[in-house]
A and B are shown apart, each in its own frame.
Chain A
Amino acid sequence: MCTFWKHVLRGTFSFLALSFVVLPGCREHSPDTAPVTDVVTLTYWPAPNPQEVAFADTIVRQWNRLHPRIQVRMQSIPVSVSTEEVLLAAIAGGTTPDICSNIWPGALHEYTRAGGLLRLDRFADFDSVARSRTPDPLLQTFRSPDGGFHQMPWKTNPVMMFYNRTLFEESGVELAPRTYSEYFAAAQKLTRDRNGDGIIDVWAGERDIRPIWWQRLFDVFPFTIAASGGRTLFEQGEPAFATPATEGVFAFFQRCYAEGYYPHTYFAGGDPFILEKKATQFSGPYLVATLQSLAPRLRFGVVPLPVPDDHTGPVHTYGDYKNIAIFTTTRYPAEAWEFVKFMVDARQDLLLLTVANQLPVRGDLLTNRMFAPYFEKNPMIRSFAEQVPYTRGVDAAPDLKELFDALSQEYESCAVYGRKTPSQAVLDAQERIRAIVDWNR
């Protein structure tokens, strides 16, 4: 026994000693870094998906070549249940990187409450950099409750309506619906029993009937933004969505279930849009690549979300934003800010489009000639780019997951089961959300 433990201890000490000797040695001989004394090294965490890692790798190489004294080390966010959990754990442990480009605005409150993020408007040129890229009304939606900016708006995935052209043509629906009435008229034709066995084979649409909080980011929330002309759930820190617009959205989905246009079940065994069991789907631009690779024969189009019949002006929607932030643990805030500015430069935005197929939050996305060749090659993505100026993010409120959970439950009671009127469900949701927010103050 004693000999065994001696061996274990000796082995452990040898390994640790070797690590101390070898690892720093490896670092010193890395070809990308200059002598330690002169060089500032920043750590940058991009999202762990392959496209973004490829993009991050490209820009870090460019930066390191151009800035020998400020070297950036790229390491994708450690894989976990969610980026938010990893970042919160890193903030608690003081192990955050200098920069991260996968900041979901919905989790920003948790990060700032934990004192994890640096205010970016402390840098003198923040305003000019941010405003030159992002339209001001949109930029203001990223302001933190303390009045500052802790994030640089970076990329967005606007939620739009995909529709199956073949199913539309088969049903005699010529145009994609733009309003609720047009949607119901189309839904009546689209929902049908194709083989006459008494069972519906094609549905106008379908949503997961379980009250899963993030599902609301693809139906109630973007529809509310669209119906209200760009308003979200909160106004000046208070829940303020019990409006006719939100009630109309709840009523819209309630009717979809009540009239049988949406099934009261969930599909197992594959995406019903890919399987051509439903004619419409609400999703972001990432679905384009998925459809093209998994269902190359599927003919589809993309249009803005349906809006109330009396709606005027552009159609807004939810943009699933991912932004850039600098953490308070950085020893080199000025250098980190320089790298952030480099990341949001037009040339890097072009790379974001071409390498990762993701839309930068730019006002000139469709007017800047630099991006024109990309959109000529990718006309479907152009539809999403047209939506970018009219996208909104989630509110900077605490506990967004629980807030959307409460909203989901009221939506379920009203729309899926028809047990509450739209006005009652919306009012109850607002009251429940207010209670959660008050508890968090």
Chain B
Amino acid sequence: MNAHSHTDTPRHADRVGYALVSPYVVFFLLFVGYPLIFSFVLMFHRWNIVTPMEWIGLRNFERLLGDPLFYASITNTFIFLFVHIPLQLAAALGIAVLLNMNVRFRGFFRTLYFLPVVVSGVVVTILWQQLYAYDAGLLNRLMTALGAARIPWLVNPDIAMGSIAIMATWKNVGIYIVLFLAGLQNIPSELYESASLDGASPAARFFRITLPMLNPTVVVVLVLSTIGGFSLFIEPYVLTGGGPMQSTLSGVLYIYYQAFNFGHMGYAATLGFVLAVLVFAVVVLQRKSVETEGTV
């Protein structure tokens, strides 16, 4: 009897276990596994959703190699990252260091900097559209009032992506401030005390203690900003539609246009796959170059 009940109990426990994980398994299969496999199949087909799929072998890849808009969208994404990541790192770290000091209303300021993160991306973008407008935008009115020339924030192909990067930094900086604050609070205060006793200046303490000790956080911020930068979509979609002269056409925006404007689901899946490989490669390179020994 005993042996029988011993063998029964684990089986019952197994069943309960399977039942408990089944929602996640179903979710994973439906929303991750199936789309992944389906998009892999799509890469070798031409399909506009309504008519039957057509097998075209590697022609989506052939087209991608000769597509100037694909290269333009990747170049634009790198331009965005080039402006956005250093700006993001510097702003987040600078504000985090300030907020880590004994300043008045610290809690209020921490909340204030985090607010843009919780506001909808579309709402933030529409607000910035009003700021950036060439003829009647608040920024250009200010420039005119100061006697300076108006800046074509979004209508000049040379500076439009930079304008978007500034806006994206403002929107996302709060989350990275939180990460840096957590990193700063993990640095033992003894290190600063000892350095002070040895006569180290505030700048030396920042560069010799704070920055090296924050290396793991810097890597996390770098990786998250890069991945976030590669998925740039809402800002150019709402602000510029990818223009002027495709200067703000990001990789993801181009994928969206191919899929939902032109109905090229197979080609869009191919672009998505190549973009994912590119993100993976860039993140691996970043980790290799930034990570120091002991970084997790």
Interface residues of A (CB under 8 A from B): 88-89, 91-92, 110, 113-114, 209-211, 264-265, 399, 401-402, 405, 409, 412-413, 416-417, 419, 432, 435, 439-440
Which B residues are in CB contact (< 8 Å) with A113?
A: 51
Bound form: Cα–Cα A210–B52 in Å: 33
Q: Are A417's CB and B245's CB within 8 A? A: yes
Residues of B with C-beta under 8 A to A412: 243-245
Separation in Å of the B241 CB from the closest CB of chain A? Answer: 6
Q: Which residue of A lies closest to B261 (CB)?
A: A401
- Pairwise interchain contact B59-A91, C-beta atoms closer than 8 A: no
Contact (Cβ within 8 A) A210 B243: yes
Task: Give the docked Cα–Cα distance between A11 and B66 (Å).
Answer: 59
A379 and B62 CA atoms in complex are apart in Å by: 54
Contact (A432, B68) CB under 8 Å given A88-B50, A439-B59: yes
Could you say which residues of chain B place their CB within 8 Å of the CB of A439? 59, 62-63, 267
A-B residue pairs, 5 tightest by C-beta: A92-B50, A114-B51, A88-B50, A402-B262, A439-B63
| Bound Cα distance A88, B157 (Å) | 37
Residues of chain A lying within 8 A (CB to CB) of residue B51: 88, 91-92, 110, 113-114
Main secondary structure on chain A at its contact with chain B? helix
Chain B hits for A416, CB < 8 A? 244
Cβ contact within 8 Å between B262 and A89: no
What chain B residues lie within 8 Å of A440 (beta carbons)?
A: 46
CB of B23 to closest CB in A, whole Å = 21
- Indicate the member of A91, A409, A435, A440 with the most B CB atoms within 10 Å: A409
Min CB–CB distance B115 → chain A (angstroms): 29
Residues on A with beta carbons closer than 8 Å to the beta carbon of B134: 265
Q: 1/0 per residue B245-279: CB within 8 Å of A?
A: 11000000000000001101001000000000000
Q: A110-B51, A399-B262, A401-B262 are in contact. Are A210 and B241 (CB under 8 A)?
A: yes
Is the CB of B151 closer than 8 A to any CB of chain A?
A: no
A413 partner residues in chain B, CB cutoff 8 A: 245
When chains A and B are docked, how far (Å) is the Cα of A432 from the Cα of B69?
Answer: 10
Point out the residues of chain B lying under 8 angstroms from A401, CB to CB: 261-262
User: Is B48 within 8 A of A409, CB to CB?
Assistant: no
Q: Give A213's nearest chain B residue, CB to CB.
A: B261
Give A139 to B32 CA distance when docked, in angstroms: 51
- Min CB distance, B90 to chain A, in Å? 32
Chain A residues within 8 Å of B8, by CB: none
- Known contacts A417-B157, A419-B245; decide if A435 and B50 are in contact (CB<8 Å): no
30 A-B pairs within 8 Å (CB atoms) are namely A88-B50, A88-B51, A89-B50, A91-B50, A110-B48, A110-B51, A114-B50, A114-B51, A114-B52, A210-B241, A265-B135, A399-B262, A401-B261, A401-B262, A402-B261, A402-B262, A405-B262, A409-B245, A412-B244, A413-B245, A417-B157, A417-B244, A417-B245, A419-B157, A419-B245, A435-B66, A435-B67, A439-B62, A439-B63, A439-B267
Interchain CA distance A413-B134 in the complex, whole Å: 20
Which residues of chain B are within 8 angstroms of A405 by Cβ–Cβ distance?
A: 261-262
Q: Which residues of B contact A110 (CB under 8 A)?
A: 48, 51
Residues 155-170 of chain B: 1 if any A CB is under 8 Å from the residue's CB, otherwise 0? 1010000000000000
Least CB separation from A115: chain B residue: B51
B-chain residues with CB within 8 Å of residue A432 when the two chains form the complex: 68
Total contacting residues, chain B, CB less than 8 A: 24
Alpha-carbon gap, A440 to B267, bound state (A): 11
A61 to chain B, nearest CB (A): 33
In the bound complex, residues from chain B placing their C-beta under 8 Å from that of A419 are 157, 245
The smallest beta-carbon distance between A5 and chain B, in angstroms, is 22
Provide the residues of chain B in CB contact with A409, threshold 8 Å: 245-246
Residues of A with C-beta under 8 A to B245: 409, 412-413, 417, 419
Q: Nearest Cβ distance between residue A92 and chain B, in whole angstroms?
A: 4
Rounded to whole angstroms, the CA-CA distance of A110 and B246 in the bound complex is 27
The minimal Cβ–Cβ distance linking A251 to chain B, given in whole angstroms, is 18
Return chain B residues, CB-CB under 8 Å to A435: 63, 66-67
A399 CB contacts on chain B under 8 angstroms: 262
Chain A residues near B264 (CB-CB < 8 A): 402
> Chain A's nearest CB lies how many Å from the CB of B44?
13
Provide the bound-state CA to CA distance between A247 and B48, in Å: 33
Interface string of B232-249 (1 = CB under 8 A from A): 000000000101111000
Contact indicator A88/B48 (Cβ below 8 Å): yes
CA distance A166 to B31 in the complex (A): 62
A215 to B134: give the CA distance in the assembly, Å: 23
A412 to B245, CA, bound (A): 7
Q: How far is the CA of A399 from the CA of B257 in the complex (A)?
A: 13
Which chain A positions have C-beta within 8 A of B261? 401-402, 405
Q: Which of B131-146 contact A (CB under 8 A)?
A: 134-135
A236–B51 alpha-carbon span in the complex (Å): 26
Query: Which chain B positions have C-beta within 8 A of A209?
Result: 244
Q: Give complex CA distance A424, B245 in Å.
A: 15
Complex Cα distance, B264 from A435, in Å, reads 14
Residues on B with C-beta less than 8 A from A211 are 243
Q: How far is the CA of A92 from the CA of B246 in the complex (A)?
A: 34
Given pairs A91-B51, A409-B245, A435-B66, 15 additional interface contacts (CB within 8 A): A88-B48, A110-B48, A114-B51, A399-B262, A402-B262, A402-B264, A412-B243, A412-B244, A412-B245, A413-B245, A419-B157, A435-B63, A435-B67, A439-B59, A439-B63
| Inter-chain contact B63/A265, CB cutoff 8 Å | no
B262 proximity list for chain A (CB < 8 A):
399, 401-402, 405
Contact A264-B243, Cβ < 8 Å, known A88-B50, A92-B51:
no
A438 CB → nearest B CB, Å:
8
Chain B residues, CB < 8 A from A88 = 48, 50-51
CA distance A419 to B134 in the complex (A): 21
CB distance from B52 to the nearest CB of A (A): 8
Smallest beta-carbon distance A18→chain B, Å: 33
The residue of chain B having its C-beta at the shortest distance from the C-beta of A211 within the complex is B243
Q: Which residue of A lies closest to B56 (CB)?
A: A439
Among B46, B50, B135, max chain A CB count under 10 A is at B50
A373 → B minimal CB distance (Å): 45
Question: With a CB–CB cut-off of 8 A, which chain A residues contact B66?
Answer: 435
Chain A contacts for B48, CB-based, 8 A: 88, 110
Expressed in whole angstroms, the Cα–Cα distance for A389 and B31 within the complex equals: 55
Alpha-carbon distance between A147 and B232 when the two chains are bound, in angstroms: 46
Contacts of B267 in A (CB 8 A): 439
